[in-house]
Amino acid sequence: MQAGIIGLGLMGGSLGLALKETKMFKSVVGYDASLLHGRQALTLGLVDELVSLKDLQECDIVYVAVPLESTLEVLDNFEDVERPNFTIVDLGSVKDKIASSLSPKLQKYYIGAHPMCGTENSGPSASVKDLYKHKIVILSNLDRASTFQEAFAKEVFLAIGMQIVSMDSISHDKHVAFISHLPHVLSFALANAVLSQERPEDILMLAGGGFVSMSRLSKSSPITWSDIFKQNKEFLTNSINVYEKELQKLKGFLEEDDYEGLKAWIANANRISEFL
Beta bridge partners of 112: 90, 140
Q: How many helices (H) and strands (E) does the chain have?
A: 13, 8
> Quick one: the chain helix, strand, coil %, rounded to 5?
60, 15, 30
Tell me how far apart the alpha carbons of residues 211 and 200 are, in angstroms, rounded to a whole number: 14
Per-residue burial over 103-112, b = 16 or more CB atoms within 10 Å of its CB, e = otherwise: eeebebbbbb
Question: Is the dihedral angle over the CA atoms 107, 108, 109, 112 positive or is it negative?
Answer: positive
| Residue boundaries of the structural domains of the chain | 2-167, 172-274
pLDDT of 12-39, one tens digit each?
999 999 999 999 999 999 999 999 999 9
Q: Terminus-to-terminus CA distance in the chain, angstroms?
A: 39
Q: Residue 276: is its pLDDT beyond 90?
A: no
CB–CB of 17/46 below 8 Å? yes
pLDDT of amino acid 275: 87
Q: Residue 249 — very low, low, confident or very high, per pLDDT cuts 50/70/90? A: very high
Burial of 83 per CB tally in 10 Å (0-12, 13-18, 19+): exposed
Q: What is residue 135's DSSP assignment?
A: -
- Dist. CA 65–CA 228, nearest whole Å: 13
Residue with more model confidence, 186 or 201:
186
Give domain 2-167's CATH superfamily: NAD(P)-binding Rossmann-like Domain (3.40.50.720)
Listed in order, strand segments (DSSP E) in the chain are: 2-6, 27-31, 49-50, 61-64, 87-90, 110-115, 136-140, 163-167
76 falls in which pLDDT band (50, 70, 90)? very high
- CA geometry: angle 119, 121, 122, nearest 5 deg: 115
Among 49-53, 104-108, 155-159, 167-171, name the one with the lowest average pLDDT.
104-108
93-112 confidence digits (pLDDT tens): 999 999 999 998 899 999 99
Question: How far is Cα 106 from Cα 109, in angstroms, rounded to an integer?
Answer: 6
Would the pTM count as exceeding 0.85? Answer: yes
Task: Give the model's pLDDT for residue 208.
Answer: 85
Residue 10 one-letter amino acid? L
CATH superfamily of 172-274: 6-phosphogluconate dehydrogenase C-terminal like domain (1.10.3660.10)
* Alpha-carbon gap, residue 48 to 156, rounded angstroms: 18
Q: Are strands 87-90 and 61-64 parallel, antiparallel or unpaired?
A: parallel
- Beta carbons of 8 and 63 less than 8 angstroms apart: no
pLDDT of residue 177: 98
Contacts of 275 by beta carbon, 8 Å cutoff, 6+ apart:
none
**What's the pLDDT at 202?**
85
Beta bridge partners of 113: 139
Q: Cβ contacts of residue 109 below 8 Å, gap of 6+?
A: 78, 81, 86, 87, 88, 146, 149
Which H/E stretch holds residue 64? strand 61-64
Confidence at residue 203, expressed as pLDDT on a 0 to 100 scale? 86
| pLDDT band, very low/low/confident/very high, at 145 (cuts 50, 70, 90) | confident
Pairing of strands 61-64, 2-6: parallel
Question: Rounded to whole angstroms, how far apart are CA atoms 218 and 127?
Answer: 19
